């Protein structure tokens, strides 16, 4: 059976961008602080990713000095971040179950009807296809698959609430499970947060499905992975 995502590597610049992103991330993994395990880097990266993700969704990303998070989007993003490592086995085996759990965590303070949490209201067939990609139907580089997971979930907005937080959480799961960033050290979300208008515009272009729209999104994501690696370098330096 042919690889459904292989044609993406033929789009101008995508294969080279994916390799550059992977090289940048692997270089962070080889830093002394991360060769020893990288737990401190990963912990800080997780919090920064959650704050940036909430900020993209319109929340104030600053953590209150007293630690009491009242913004529902930020609280949901932090819950997602705190659960990703435990969700990895489910993501690898049954990604749709993992997505349901991500939505429950992200949106529990946002919806009036708790029965709707974790239940997609749209995108059924495309979600199934996405699950097949995650569980082995493609062998494209991790940077490409991660960008596709991210872009597809933004396009589908399957739950109707906190979909962006869910999409970015799923992208972090994909980053780890594909081997792009096996220790979750990097913070591409920071790059997205710094350029929200472009992020939104290119996500819409990806959703449109044209070759140029898809290419622009993939290149943007690969650039964000490199920026996220730079963020991880600064975290690693502070961790010693």
State the virtual CA torsion across 63, 229, 207, 216 in degrees, nearest 10. 130
The 3-state DSSP class for residue 209 equals coil
Half-sphere exposure of 169 (CA within 13 A, CB side): 37
Residue 67: pLDDT band (50, 70, 90) is confident
pTM score, two decimals?
Answer: 0.96
For domain 6-239, give the fold. Fic-like fold (1.10.3290)
Integer Cα distance of 177 and 179 in angstroms: 5
pLDDT at 240 over 60: no
170: exposed, middle or buried (C-beta count within 10 Å: 0-12, 13-18, 19+)?
buried
pLDDT single digits (tens) 156-211: 999 999 999 999 999 999 999 999 999 999 999 999 999 999 999 999 999 999 99
Confidence of residue 66 (pLDDT cuts 50, 70, 90): confident
In whole angstroms, give the CA distance from residue 53 to residue 72. 13
Residue-wise pLDDT for 100-133, tens only, equals 999 999 999 888 777 778 889 877 899 999 999 9
Question: Tell me, what's the pLDDT at 239?
Answer: 67
CA distances from 5 to 139, 214, 219 (A): 8, 11, 15
Q: Which pLDDT does position 202 carry in this prediction?
A: 98
High-pLDDT (> 90) share of the chain, %: 85
Q: What is the CA radius of gyration of the chain?
A: 17
Residue spans per domain, the chain: 6-239
> What is the DSSP annotation of 93-139?
H-HHHHHHHHHHHHHTTT-S-GGGTT--SS-HHHHHHHHHIIIII--
């Amino acid at each position: 059976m042919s690889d459904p995502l292989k044609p993406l590597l033929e789009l101008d610049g995508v294969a080279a961008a994916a390799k550059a992103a992977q090289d940048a991330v692997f270089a962070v993994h080889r830093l002394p602080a991360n060769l020893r395990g990288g737990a401190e880097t990963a912990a800080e990266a997780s919090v920064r990713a959650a704050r940036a993700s909430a900020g993209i969704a319109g929340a104030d990303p600053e953590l209150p000095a007293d630690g009491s998070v009242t913004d529902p989007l930020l609280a949901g993003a932090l819950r997602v971040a705190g659960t990703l490592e435990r969700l990895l086995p489910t993501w690898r085996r049954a990604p749709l179950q993992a997505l349901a759990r991500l939505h429950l965590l992200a949106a529990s303070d946002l919806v009036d009807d708790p029965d709707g949490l974790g239940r997609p209201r749209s995108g059924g067939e495309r979600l199934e296809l996405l699950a097949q990609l995650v569980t082995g139907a493609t062998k494209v580089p991790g940077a490409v698959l991660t960008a596709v997971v991210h872009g597809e979930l933004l396009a589908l907005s399957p739950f109707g609430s906190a979909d962006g937080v869910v999409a970015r959480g799923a992208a972090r799961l994909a980053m780890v499970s594909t081997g792009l960033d096996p220790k979750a050290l990097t913070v591409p979300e920071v790059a997205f947060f710094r350029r929200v208008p472009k992020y939104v515009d290119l996500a819409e272009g990806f959703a449109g499905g044209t070759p140029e729209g898809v290419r622009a999104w993939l290149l943007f994501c690969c650039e964000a992975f490199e920026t996220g690696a730079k963020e991880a370098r600064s975290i690693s330096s502070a961790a010693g």
